[in-house]
Amino acid sequence: MATPHSAIGPAAAPVAPAAVKILIAGGFGVGKTTLVGSVSEVTPLRTEEYLTRASVGVDDLSGVDQKTTTTVALDFGRITVSPELVVYLFGTPGQERFWFMWNDLVNGALGGIVIADTRRLDTSFASIDFFESRGIPFVVAINCFHNTNTRTPDEIRAALDLDPQVPMLLGDVRERTFGRDLLLALVDHLMDLAAAPVG
């Protein structure tokens, strides 16, 4: 006996997961590529090139003398939160000569993470200004390289001139748990902003 069509029903169409884009920004050598690599579930796409003599006098290597490569376009990683939600991470290039890429990378970004190095806090100013000028919510990650941080959170916040509501976390971007905490802090920040009364 044939089963009535109504009992079978049409096959459910697969639903594409919602995509969320997060931008990872900061100065040259602060740990953007490292953060993307530490949390991505796939091997990150990296556009790194070796530093050559041609960069002498162009790229400021103060505080990162041992760095031999640099991101010239972007870093890309992915995190599947659930079958319904995928997070895409885009790391920006840090040197000023590649900042023109930021305007393309920021399109569609829901929020951002600014990574700062307390030894060179001034290298984070441009990233913070970039997000603030475009009204894109962000959190700040203080990358504590080998426990070299000697400033208190209040001193860092004052030096960066952060608004009180901007979350700031201290940790090591090489650790996956710190990357997770940063993403969760950004989600909480976005939810708080969405729930805030308008006006």
Give backbone dihedrals phi and psi of 138, rounded to 5 degrees, phi first: -150, 160
* CA dist., res. 156 & res. 161, Å (int): 8
Note the pLDDT tens digit of each residue in 65-84.
554 454 445 788 889 888 88
Tokens of 80: 């599947």
**Residue 185 in domain:** yes
- Quote the domain boundaries for residue 190: 17-195
151 found inside a domain: yes
CATH of the domain at 90: 3.40.50.300
Q: What is the pLDDT of residues 85-116, one digit of tens each?
A: 899 998 887 555 555 566 777 888 899 999 99
- Domain count for the chain: 1
Average pLDDT over residues 184-193: 92
Report the distance separating Cα 67 and Cα 197, nearest Å.
46
At 67 the pLDDT is 45
Assess if residue 35 is contained within a domain: yes
Residue 117 has pLDDT above 70, yes or no: yes
Q: Give the Cα separation of 150 and 148 in Å (integer).
A: 6
Helix (H) or strand (E) holding 75: strand 69-82
25 in a domain, yes or no? yes
Most confident residue range from 57-66, 135-144, 148-157: 135-144
Is 75 a member of any domain? yes
| Residue 2 included in any domain | no
Residue 5 lies in a domain: no
Q: Is residue 155 part of a domain?
A: yes
